[in-house]
């Protein structure tokens, strides 16, 4: 059972590598942020899978924290950065 968990975690990591391309290239700041948010969610899923594959229950707490703090990052972006005239190339 834990083999499937590990394989799926690896598959999600490949997804992350593809999304990294969007973070590096994304035309507008919002695209970069959305890719970073996807990183957060997929990171939560990978942590959960690893927690059940390795039997480390404490990793679920780390996933919980990650899900919580993605909100703070996104809110800081929407309320602090993007209200200014910032074209993404400055």
Partner 1 sequence: MIFDLLLVTALLVSAVHALSTPDLFRAVMLFIVFGLLMALAWARLNAPDIALAEAAIGAGLTGALLLDALGHLHRKRRERSP
Partner 2 sequence: MMGILEVASALLLIIGAVFFLAGTIGLLRFPDVYTRLHALAKADNLGLGFTVLGLLLQAPGVAAGMKLILVWLLALAASATLSYLIARRALARGIEPWKSEEDER
How many Cα atoms occupy the beta-carbon half-sphere of 7 within 13 Å? 4
Nearer to partner 2, 52 or 89 (CB): 52
Number of continuous H segments (helices) and E segments (strands) in the chain: 3, 0
Contact string 3-22 vs partner 1 (x = CB under 8 A): ---x--xx--xx-xx--x--
Neighbouring residues of 74: CB distance < 8 A, sequence distance ≥ 6 = 33, 37
Query: What does the alpha-carbon distance between residue 67 and residue 64 come to, in Å, rounded to a whole number?
Result: 5
Neighbours of 32 (CB within 10 A): 17
Contact string 28-67 vs partner 2 (x = CB under 8 A): x-xx-xxx-xx--xx-xx--xx--x----x--xx-xx--x
Provide the binding-site residues for partner 2, judged by CB under 8 A: 1, 4-5, 8, 11-12, 15, 18-19, 21-22, 28, 30-31, 33-35, 37-38, 41-42, 44-45, 48-49, 52, 57, 60-61, 63-64, 67-68, 70-71, 74-75, 77-79, 82-83
């Amino acid at each position: 059972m834990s083999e499937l968990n590990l394989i799926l975690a690896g598959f999600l990591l490949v997804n992350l590598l593809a999304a990294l391309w969007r973070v590096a290239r994304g035309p507008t700041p919002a695209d970069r942020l959305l890719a970073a948010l996807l990183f957060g969610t997929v990171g939560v899923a990978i942590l959960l899978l690893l927690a059940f594959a390795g039997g480390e229950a404490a990793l679920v707490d780390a996933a919980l924290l990650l899900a919580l703090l993605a909100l703070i990052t996104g809110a800081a972006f929407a309320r602090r950065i993007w209200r200014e005239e910032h074209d993404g190339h400055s």
